[in-house]
Structure formats: structure tokens, C-alpha cells
Amino acid sequence: MNMIMSVDDIVGVAKEFVWPWSCRKEDGNISGENQIIFVMVSVLLIIAISYWYIFRNRKLKLPPGPRGLPLIGNLLSLEPNLHVYFANLAEVYGPIVKLQVGSKIFIVVSSTSLTKEVLKDNDAIFANRDAPVAALVASYGGVDIGWSASNSEWRKLRKVFAHEMLSNKSLDLSYGLRRDEMRKTVSDIYKQKIDTPINFGEEVFIIILNMIMGMLWGGTLQGEERSKVGAEFQKVIGELVKLIGRTNVSDVFPALKIFDIQGIEREAKVLCLWLDRIMDSVIDQRVKLNDTDQTCQSKESKKDFLQLLLELMEQKDPKTQITKTQLKALYLDIVVAGTETTSTTIEWVMTEMMQHPEIMERAQAEIDQVVGTNNTLEESHLSKLHYLDAVVKETFRLHPVAPLLIPHSPSSSCEIGGYIIPKGATVFCNAWAMQRDPDAWNDPSTFQPERFLSDGNVKKFDYNGKNFSYLPFGSGRRICAGIPLAERMLTYVLAALLHSFDWELPRHTKLDVAETFGIALKKSTPLVVIPTPRLVNLELYM
């Protein structure tokens, strides 16, 4: 979440809300003679709004942290890369730090022991979310899995997601969709993009999007619409993710939420309406098809996720029955989180391989040994690709997609590390810092996949969230629900692209490894690479 706000931003907000339109000149600016009054009224209004929020916890033993300004707290001192800024604060104030951001209290935890207290020992208390306004829009008011409060409806939806949609049986049945999409992609690259610089992240995004669409409702993008509509999806989802991580006065001063001063809520609604129309259309078409064709999806092997969920909607069992709104919220979770996080991670893997060509060579050699250059790579091969698995895990360690995880919020005040975390605080667990902790990792800033190859570390560093020095997917009851799908898609797509092609940077191109903080940790500039064929049997490209 990018919480940076300048003085100009604050003054701009005050101009939009505080000062009556009647006191402005025609150009919308405040007349010179009213400047002093404007400042006084602005300050008084903010004091009135903030007083209760800021001073209600004065008597509690809160964690240490930097002193802030009156009213706005530490808002102006935050830096763009929050994960790095928070790590630096931990070196000064210790592993648990408090910041006052507007009327919100931020708690940042940066040690494995305290993170364990939050996500395991007091898991039930910290299972709620502090959802920004844009996230509430994207989750239909917080009825999804990612941003919902920890309640019975959330537990029901998560159970449906894990047991009905992402069970091994369901994922096995949908493998044909992923395989067909991957083969189409390999063929498309071979026929149209060989020796041509391509935006690698964009290419991977479209692959993942098509795989997810196929599993969700059996449809994929073909021909010209594949790139055109795929790019539009990427733009909409990218903008939505930016809005969720953007500074919003409504988030740090909840009393101002009703005014939507910066228009972030309105922008999020426009983007979500675009996605909502697509989902409504797909759902309505399937319902009509089911009504006219009673044999539709009669074979279990042909069921996609939509058919499974529609059947649950029709059931009267309160333990599994879901609403149409919940269905759409769940779909939006999968489409937004699945495409953005998976494609971002694969782009980081390829970026590291561009920096370390020997790692790519070793990964390709392993794939050739397991699959061969005359065969097509299948998901069944993935369990034997131990080095590639280590490369992916090392990428997650250095470039966690959610460096601060998704913020937690305690349902009641709770003691952590000898300090009181007040009810409703926004709690960040700095996974980025813990995964670079020199006490837990040798040479932590170096990309070394080999660290995950020893027998002990294979089991020690998995994705189940039990080792608190390695939390790429979080931990506890709010651990990422999509891990089974992410594991399959990410490794399969990456392995297939490495098996089918060699990749190199365009001539005279300098690799940019800078990162941009947000709700997802992305590359600052897209990775552009050139593919060349490497398979002996050219029929595998057809």
C-alpha cells in the first residue's frame, strides 16, 4: 500500500472539501485575502475529525516508533518503498514499530518470533482485514476471500474454494485446459515472435489469464482478441491494483470516506463495472444454456468452476450454498490475484535468469533430462524439476509479490512482544525483511537457488507458512487460498517457456532490476527479451 502524501496533496484535499465554493475565484483557487482563514478552518476541521482516533490509545503501552506531526502523524515521512522504509525503522526502533498515519495506527512487525505471535499464537484475533476503500469496491463490499472479515460466510466461501475448486481432483480435471493454452502459446511465439523483442510480463499475463478463464468458465481469448482483449484486461487489473495501493484520504481519515475526495472509489467502481459486466454476461449465458440443455456438463470431467459454483447456488444446503455476488467476488479474486501475482513472479524469475545465465542453463538442462527435447513438457514432469523449484522459491524469497503481506487487523486489543496492539490497528508483517534477515539466511541479498536444494531445506521452506522466516504466501487462517493453483500454473508456464525457447536481452539493453512497491511488488520497467527455438523436434511448435 503506497501511503505517500505530500504537503501539496493535503492542501489539495483541503481545497476540495474544506473551503466553500462561494469563497473561490472563477479559476477555482482561493483568493489571496482568504488564505489565512482557509488554513485556520482546514486545521480546525482536521483536528475535529482526528481527535478521537489519535488520542483514544494514549494510555496504552504501544510499540516504539518515530514521532509524528500533530494530526497527520507520520504521513509525510513515509517513503515510496514502504517495505524498505519499514525495515530501516526496525533497525532503529526494534522488531515492532508503531506509526501514526492520519487517524490510523500502523503496526509493523519485522521479526519471525513476533510474526509467529501475530499469525499463529493469536491467529484468531488478527484474522480480520483493514480493507482500503478500493479493495472493498473490488470485493463487492468485502464478501470475497481476500478482504472479507473473518466470519462464517468467509469460512464457507474459503471451504468451497479449497475443497470444490482447488482440490487435486478438480485441478487434475482442468489440466487439459492449461496444456492446450500452453501449446497454443508456444506455437504462437514460434510462428510470429522468434528473434523479436517481446514484453515478457505481458506475454505471461495473457497466458495466465487464458488459463484462468478456461478453468473458470471454459472460455479463452483467441486470434486477434487474444492480444487486444488480453491487453485491456491487463490494463484494467493493473489500474485496479494501483488504486488499492494508492494513498487515499478516505483510508487514513475514515470520517472523510463519504466524500471520496480523490475520486478513488469512483475510479475503482468504473474498473470493476467493466469486469462485472463480463462476469454477468458469462454467468447469464451459462444459466440459459443449462436451462435449454439438461445434458450440459453432465460429465464430471467437463465441469469448469462456473458449473460447480452454479450447482452450489442452486443447492439448499446452508453449509455450501453461495450467492451470485459471492460467486462474482470469488471470481474477481481469482482473476485479479491469479493473473497479477503469478505473471509478476514469472517475470522476476526470468529477470534473475537474465542476470545469471548459468542458472537458466542449469534449469534448462534439468528440464531436458526429465522431459527431453523431443517431447512435450507435461505437469506430471514438474515434481521432478527440483532445481527449477528451487529457482522459484528463491525468487519468492528475494521478490515476494506481497512484501508486507495483506494487512491484518485485530478484532480486540492484543499483547504482542510486550506491547499492546489496539483493536482496529493496521498490522503489517514485513515478509520482505524477514526473508532477507542475515540471522536466518546466509548471504541473503544474493540469488542462490541452491539454498533450497538440501534435503532439510526442501521440507523446511515450503509454502505452508509454518516457517516464519519464509512467508511468500502468508500464514495462519488467512494464508493465500490459491497456493495449489499458483504452484501448478507458475511452474508449468515457466518450465514450458524455458523448455521451448532460449531467451536473451536485446542488444545494448541494460537489465533493470528496480522494483516498484504497491499491493504487489512489481518491476519498475517491463522485461523485454528475445526468444529463439531450442527443441530438436520442430513439430512440437506446431
What residue numbers does the annotated binding site for heme cover?
480
CB 464 within 8 A of CB 458: no
Tally Cβ neighbours within 10 Å of residue 9: 15
- Contact (CB, 8 A) for 372 and 389: no
Cα–Cα distances (Å) from 330 to 128, 160, 279, 385, 409, in that order, read 18, 10, 11, 32, 21
Distance (Å, whole) CA 532 – CA 194: 5
Tell me the binding residues: 480
What residues form DSSP beta bridges with 347?
Answer: none
DSSP tag of 141: T
Round to whole Å and give the CA distance between 472 and 470. 6
What are the DSSP E strand ranges found in 472-518?
501-504, 515-516
**How many other CB atoms are found less than 10 A from the CB of residue 211?**
27
- Provide the 8-state DSSP code for 71: T
Contact yes or no for 529/504 (Cβ under 8 A): yes
Distance of alpha carbon 75 from alpha carbon 252, whole angstroms: 9
Query: What distances in angstroms separate CA 318 from CA 157, 160, 258, one per listed residue?
Result: 11, 12, 34
Check: CB of residue 531 under 8 Å from CB of residue 202.
no
Q: Pick from 142, 217, 140: which is nearest to 177 by CA?
A: 217
